[in-house]
Amino acid sequence: MMRKLILALFVLTLIACSPLAGKGNPASQPPADGLERATFAGGCFWCMEPPFDKIDGVISTTSGYIGGKEVEPTYKEVAYGRTGHTEAVEIVFDPSVVSYERLLEVFWVNIDPTVQDRQFCDRGSQYRTGIFVHGDEQRASAEASKTKIEETKTFELPVLTPIETAGPFYPAEEYHQDFYEKNPQRYYSYRRGCGRDARLRQLWGDAAGGK
C-alpha cells in the first residue's frame, strides 16, 4: 500500500510540476522523400522512444498525441483524459535500411497488449495501446503482425491492441522529447516504479524490449 501511495504521489508530481507552455505543436508534416512514418501508442511516450532510437534506419522519434478530437492538445489536457488522445510516438524511418515489419516487432515486445485503457501503472484511455497505420500497406503488415503474435504468444490472455487509421499527430511539448536523455535519473525512477520492465519480462521473456 505504501509503495502504491508513493508511486501515485510521484506521478501526480510529474503532472503538477511539468512546465506547460500553452498549446502543443502543430500536427506533424509528411516525412521527406524516401522516408516513411510509423505511429505507435504504448503507454508513456517517454518509454517508447528509447527502443526505436537504437535501430539503424530510424531517423527520428517524436513523442506526441493521437486519436483524439481536440486540435493542438496540451499535455495537461491529455493527461487528465479530456481530449480522447493517447500518448504515442511517431517514427520517421528509412525503409531501405529498416522495414516497417521490424518496427512492429519492436513495438510488440515493448507493450502489454493484454489490457485496455492502461499500461503498467498508468490508468486511463490516454495510455491505451494502438498501431496507427499510414496506408493500406502498413495496415496489411500490422494485421499480419498481430495475427502472428496471437498465434505464437506464450501468455494466455488475448491481444487487445487495436489497429487504427492514423489521424492528426500532435508533437508533445519540447521538454517531453528525448526525456530519457535529458532527465535520465527521473526517467529510470519512473520506469522502475511503474513496473514496466518486470511486466515486459513476464510477457515476452528474453525478447522483452530494452530501456
Give the distance from CA 30 to its chain's centroid: 19
pTM attached to this predicted model:
0.87
Query: Collapsing DSSP states into helix, strand and coil, what is residue 156?
Result: coil
CA distance 121 to 75: 18
Query: What number of CA atoms fall less than 13 Å from residue 150's CA on the CB side?
Result: 11
Q: Are 2 and 148 in contact (CB under 8 A)?
A: no
Residue range 51-105, pLDDT digits in tens? 999 999 999 999 999 999 999 999 999 999 989 999 999 999 999 999 999 999 9
Residue type, 150: E
Active site residue 47: no
Cell of 95: 525503409
48 confidence band (pLDDT: 50, 70, 90): very high
21 confidence band (pLDDT: 50, 70, 90): very low
Q: What is the DSSP letter of 30?
A: P
Residue range 189-198, pLDDT digits in tens? 999 999 999 9
CA distance 158 to 151: 10
Long-range pairs for 11-14 at CB < 8 Å and ≥24 separation? 11/121, 11/122, 11/190, 14/190
Query: Cα dihedral angle (38, 132, 152, 202), rounded to 10 degrees?
Result: 90
DSSP labels for 78-135?
Answer: HHTT-SS-EEEEEEEE-TTTS-HHHHHHHHHTTS-TT-SSEETTEESGGG-EEEEESS
Among the listed residues 44, 47, 121, 194, the single catalytic one is 44
Q: Are 152 and 204 in contact (CB under 8 A)?
A: no
Looking at residue 24, what is its pLDDT?
Answer: 53
Query: What number of CA atoms fall less than 13 Å from residue 153's CA on the CB side?
Result: 22
